[in-house]
Amino acid sequence: MTKWDQKIDWLINRLKQDQSSDGSWAYPFDTGTTTDAYMIILLRTLAVQEDQLIRGLAQRILSKQSDNGAWKLFADEENGGNLSATVEAYYALLASGFVKKDDPRLVSAKKFILEHGGIQNTSMFTKIMLAITGKYKWPAFSPFPVEMILLPAACPINLYQFSIFGRANLIPIMILASRKFSMKMKNSPDLSDLFSARHPGHSWPENRDLLDWIGEELKKISEFPERLHASALDRAKKYMLARIEPDGTFYSYFSATFLMIFALLSLGHFKNGPIIQNAVKGLLSMATVIDGLPHMQYTTANVWNTALISYAMQNAGVPKEDETVAAANRYLLSRQHNRSGDWKIHNPHGAPGGWGFSDINTINPDVDDTTAALRALIREAAGGTQTREAWKRGVNWTVSMQNRDGGWAAFEKNVHGKWLKLIPVEKAEYLLGDPSSADLTGRTLEFLGNYTNLENRHPAMEEGADWLIRHQRKDGSWYGRWGICYLYGTWAASTGLAASGIPASRPALKRAAGWIQSVQNHDGGWGESCRSDIHQTYIPLGHSTLTHTAWALDTLIAVSEKPTVEMEHGITWLLSNLEKQDWTTAYPVGQGMAGTFYIHYHSYRYIFPLLALGNYRRKYS
């Protein structure tokens, strides 16, 4: 057995060992310390007795503090740390009751906070959390009028022109802001000394923005504005309650559930009532353990992990009859959606058949998870009637979600209005919109081109390829919305174009390969900084990561008829570093709420090297 085969077998065996009893993989969805901090604050505010968990979360938060007192979203973050994350961590540690204000670690954190503008310079979402818990004053007017929920879907500007992800967070915020609700915990810590007098900084946006104007105009045309307001609150409440998942969470999202709990409290629900108690239990169920300490996941990633792993293993030669693969595919089939969600509003003729991201997700499918699950099921679908029908439903749903511009988005169809830039929210076009993206369009084309019988001349294929070619950057790269960042987008777009029949000699793929080669590190690997997302331009990490290297290699494999020198150099680095453990193996390579939190997928270090090595061996051996 060659070293190459040994490394592939090592990856496969490691994945087999980590499979859960239900057939899924529950690798952590690691988003840093923000959710840990919010969970402490929530539990203390509701007086939920979870001292052991709170102590563990506090220990984890402290373990992530930098020497300068700050907390970071990623290792090479600018300014020495992240102000919002540091304020959240400071608040949570005090709220836990296990760390005192004169603790040197908190003294150091306070110094960082004040030097960087104080609480008033934090992000809007941090301010909202502080306002909810009585640490920050709500604005004089609501920048998010709840009356907007009454606008019909046919109206050019309405809540259904936001992404489902943005809508799930915005609706409870609208309720809370309209009622200026706050609820202090017992023995609430004093944060007044975190306001900086030297740096007045930014407060709430006090200018009248588009949403506020819409709310005021609705009130003017209403004969009974108070009744209109009450009706809007009632509809917002019903929207949330109708989308609670079986585990009690709102769409399986931590932030949306956190906000929903307080929104329901503001509307008169009791904290000991069943809806709020079940929501808290649902959040508690998303706890995982990393390096011996608890972490509150933003959501679970079981479906995503399982679909990618099942496919990567089969691609590397594991037969579909292998019990690991068979159990994984049984799990995936059990998680296919059978009822419609909000996606139906802009896709009225589509039938359910997609997959969601998390373990408990029944009405919020997305295109990327769906094609990932379908890749895993393709071999089984070829031989089994039941699986074949499920596979067809998934393919049909995927095709039906193509945007009119030719691309694919994550959750919605044709939700990408330019007017979103008028809303006073950081990166509103990414948080509240769901436009076509290079990663979703590329991965969808790769699936359709390699695993279905759609011809390259099919309109869906041609329009998708045209979208990608139109959106390629001058340097040959593409921006990836859900990964870091240009390496991710270029990998997805290149493999998608190749699968759609675009020859490697075409300028788009030649430029893509040239760009990939131009950003290769001297050691043979690739690595990209999360700062690429913030500055919207490629910024090298200065170190190679397993995942970025695998994406870059898979790009070159897709567009090269024979191995290249750059490819061989990258393969050598990958084979030599598969088992390493250092800060680069924990570096985030996924992004969620653009510029606000980044994701370390613990599964990626195994999945994508296995995929690249499997593709190399199949194509060139």
User: Tokens representing 273?
Assistant: 């009532």
At residue 461, the pLDDT reads: 96
Separation between Cα atoms, residue 548 and residue 550, nearest integer Å: 5
Compute the distance between CA of residue 554 and CA of residue 504 in angstroms, rounded to an integer: 14
Q: Residue 78: which CATH number?
A: 1.50.10.20
Tallying the residues shown for the chain, one arrives at 621
- Distance, in Å, from the CA atom of 315 to the CA atom of 609, rounded to the nearest integer, reads 12
Predicted local confidence at residue 207, as pLDDT? 46
In a domain, 144, yes or no: yes
Task: Note whether residue 195 is domain-resident.
Answer: yes
78 part of a folded domain: yes
Q: Looking at the domain assignment, is residue 231 inside a domain?
A: yes
- Among 166, 146, 157, smallest CA distance to 342 is for 166
Q: Which domain holds residue 225?
A: 32-296
Q: What 3-state class would DSSP assign to 404?
A: coil
* Identity of the amino acid at 276: I
Specify if 374 maps to a domain.
no
Any domain includes 121: yes
Angle at alpha carbon of residue 142, lines to 140 and 148, rounded to 5°: 160
pTM beyond 0.75, yes or no: yes
In the chain, how many domains are there?
Answer: 1
Q: Which helix (H) or strand (E) holds 320?
A: none
Residue-wise DSSP of 293-309:
EEEE-SS--HHHHHHHH
Catalytically active residues, by annotation: 368
Blockwise average pLDDT, block size 10, the chain, 621 residues: 85 98 98 97 97 98 98 95 97 98 98 96 93 92 81 80 90 95 96 82 53 56 73 96 97 97 97 97 98 98 98 96 97 97 95 97 97 96 86 97 97 81 68 91 98 91 98 98 96 98 95 98 98 94 98 97 95 96 96 84 98 94 80
To the nearest 10 degrees (0 to 180), the angle between helices 164-179 and 254-266 is 30
pLDDT at 220: 54
Q: What is the pLDDT of residues 12-57, one digit of tens each?
A: 999 999 999 999 999 999 999 999 999 999 999 999 999 999 999 9
Residue 615 confidence (pLDDT): 96
Whether residue 122 is contained in a domain is answered as yes
Pick from 442, 525, 522: nearest CA to 482? 442
What is the C-alpha to C-alpha distance for residues 295 and 18, in angstroms, rounded to an integer? 18
Per the CB < 8 A criterion, the answer to whether 16 and 324 are in contact is yes
Quick one: 432 exposed, middle or buried, by C-beta within 10 A (0-12, 13-18, 19+)?
A: buried
Is residue 169 one of the residues assigned to a domain? yes
| 77 within 8 A of 534, measured Cβ to Cβ | no
The residues facing 366 across adjacent strands are: 355
